[in-house]
């Protein structure tokens, strides 16, 4: 009996670790998609019901977010992660707590650099993890 319980717990822990790695892969795919303007990747990793709340308070949907990238209204030149911490909420929902250095296009068209702390909420869709929520906060300069 104890060996069965141990086996079940070991398998569950292994599945959770595999999901955490899949979520980190999806997280990095988002960053690669926005910096590389890889729209097929973004179409896959962003959920249709995405709510993307920027650090300046602007809120986008999947369509408005991708449209802003396509038109050049928004540009991400660089995203370098300092940390990614994944927390599984259930088998189909997870949060990624991240901190990263960003180089983006400012409102006046110049390049701006900032460190953001952000929360990404992912939901499993079939075998894929999709971003359903983004909330970020600008961190003070060190």
Compute the distance between CA of residue 81 and CA of residue 57 in angstroms, rounded to an integer.
22
141 — pLDDT class (breaks 50, 70, 90):
confident
pLDDT tens, position by position, 79-126 = 999 999 999 999 999 999 999 999 999 989 999 999 999 999 999 999
Q: In whole angstroms, what is the distance from residue 58 CA to residue 79 CA?
A: 19
Please report which confidence band the pLDDT of residue 2 belongs to, taking 50, 70 and 90 as the band edges.
low
Sheet of 46-53: strand order equals 59-60, 46-53, 128-138, 111-125, 93-105, 76-90
Structure letter (DSSP) for residue 1:
-
At 85 the pLDDT is 98
pLDDT over 90 (residue 8): no
Residue extents of the structural domains in the chain: 2-138
| pLDDT tens digits, 12-43 | 445 456 789 999 999 999 999 999 999 999 99
Alpha-helix runs per DSSP H in the chain: 2-35, 39-45, 62-71
Q: Taking the model in full, what pTM does it have? A: 0.86
Mean pLDDT of 51-74: 97
Query: For residue 102, with 0-12 CB atoms within 10 Å meaning exposed, 13-18 middle and 19 or more buried, which class applies?
Result: buried
CATH of domain 2-138: 3.10.450.50
């Amino acid at each position: 009996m104890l060996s069965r319980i141990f086996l079940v717990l070991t398998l569950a822990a292994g599945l959770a670790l595999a999901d955490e790695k899949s979520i980190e892969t999806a997280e990095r795919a988002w960053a690669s998609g926005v910096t590389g303007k890889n729209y097929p990747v973004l179409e896959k990793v962003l959920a249709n019901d995405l709510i993307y709340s920027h650090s300046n308070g602007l809120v986008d949907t999947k369509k408005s977010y991708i449209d802003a990238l396509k038109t050049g209204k928004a540009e991400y030149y660089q995203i370098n992660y300092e940390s990614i911490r994944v927390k599984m909420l259930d088998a189909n929902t997870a949060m990624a707590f991240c901190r990263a250095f960003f180089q983006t296009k400012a409102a006046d068209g110049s390049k701006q650099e900032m460190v953001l702390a952000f929360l990404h909420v992912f939901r499993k869709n079939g075998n894929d993890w999709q971003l359903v929520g983004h909330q970020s906060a600008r961190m003070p300069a060190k």
